[in-house]
Amino acid sequence: MADGRREAHRLWQGINDEYTRYLEAIDYIPSHALRHQEDMRRYLCLRFSGFLEKITEVILVDFIERKSGGPVQVFALGELRVPNLSPEKYEKLLGKFGEEYPVRFRSHLGIVHRDALFDLLDVRNKVAHGSLQGGAKLEPARYFRLVEAIYDWLFAEFIDESATGAPPPVSR
């Protein structure tokens, strides 16, 4: 990975742009075609879930590449696996970098975002397997706030301030 800072910013900008397009598009959906809006909401849930997996991978690979070298780096990169990110799996992954990371992550998330992460994974699995038709769990604004909070935390924890390149994340 050439520059995790730039790639992380590029990925964030992409998901932010998709969410903005969604907000613009729902204004144009006729009242008799609300299934289209639900389709878009399901798609965004899949994208938010995929974004979390990809941004986690990009930032952690960058961290490993900057903080290690030689056989240690080869080993660490070979062992890095980003699972479907339930709160427990996420904390277990972060714990491989030090016991303080899961504690800080849990504290940063709080109960509201932790619940949203559970729900997002549940929605992702149901949508991917065709069993979720709609409902309150498909609220894109809730998941956008979640991915923004996780992105900001990962960036602050794992991307050095001294790194050059794209600007750091900017919360809305």
pLDDT digits (tens, 9 = 90+) for 29-50: 887 887 888 888 889 999 999 9
Output the pLDDT for position 38.
Answer: 85
pTM of the model: 0.86
Among residues 49, 52, 38, 37, the alpha carbon closest in space to that of 124 is found at: 49
Cα–Cα distance measured from residue 120 to residue 168, given in angstroms and rounded to the nearest whole number: 25
Over residues 126-137, the pLDDT tens digits come to: 888 888 666 778
Nearby residues of 88 by Cβ (< 8 Å), 6 or more positions away:
none
Q: Is residue 168 part of a domain?
A: no
What integer best gives the mean pLDDT of the chain?
87
DSSP 62-77: HHHHHH--HHHHHHHH
**Residue span of the structural domain in which 153 resides:** 4-158
- Flag whether pLDDT at 76 surpasses 60: yes
Looking at the domain assignment, is residue 145 inside a domain?
Answer: yes
| Structural domains in the chain (count) | 1
Q: Give a yes or no: residue 127 inside a domain.
A: yes
Sign of CA dihedral 88, 147, 158, 111: negative
pLDDT of amino acid 166 = 44
Helix (H) or strand (E) holding 158: helix 140-158
Q: Is residue 163 part of a domain?
A: no
Separation of CA 114 from chain center: 13
